Amino acid sequence: MDWFVIHAFVEALKAKAPMPIDIYDAVTWSAITPLSEQSIANSFQTLEFPDFTAGAWKQRKPIFAFDGKY
C-alpha cells in the first residue's frame, strides 16, 4: 500500500497537481496514535478529537480512493 501512496505523491509532484492527501488529512491521521495512547493511559477515557479544519470538513468533497490516474 505504501508504494501506491508514495507513487501518487511523486506523480502529483511531477504533474504539478494537488497532492492526493492534504495537510488536514495528514495531521488528522497523525493525531490518532497519541490520542489513543493518552486514552489508554487514562483507563480508556474518551477524548475530544481536534478539528484541524475549524469546521471546513463539512464542506469538503469526500475522496474515498484514488481515481486511477496514478
User: pLDDT digits over 32-58, tens only?
Assistant: 999 999 999 999 999 999 999 999 888
Q: What is the pLDDT of residue 8?
A: 87
Is 39:47 a contact under the CB 8 Å cutoff? yes
Provide the pLDDT for residue 51.
95
For residue 50, the model assigns a pLDDT of 94
Provide long-range contacts, Cβ within 8 A and 24+ apart, for 56-65: 56/24, 57/24
State whether the Cα torsion 10-1-40-56 is positive or negative. positive
Claim: this prediction has a pTM higher than 0.75: no
Cell of 45: 477515557
Asked if 20 and 9 touch (Cβ cutoff 8 Å), the reply is: yes
- pLDDT at position 37 is 97
Confidence of residue 68 (pLDDT cuts 50, 70, 90): low
Helix (H) or strand (E) holding 26: helix 23-41
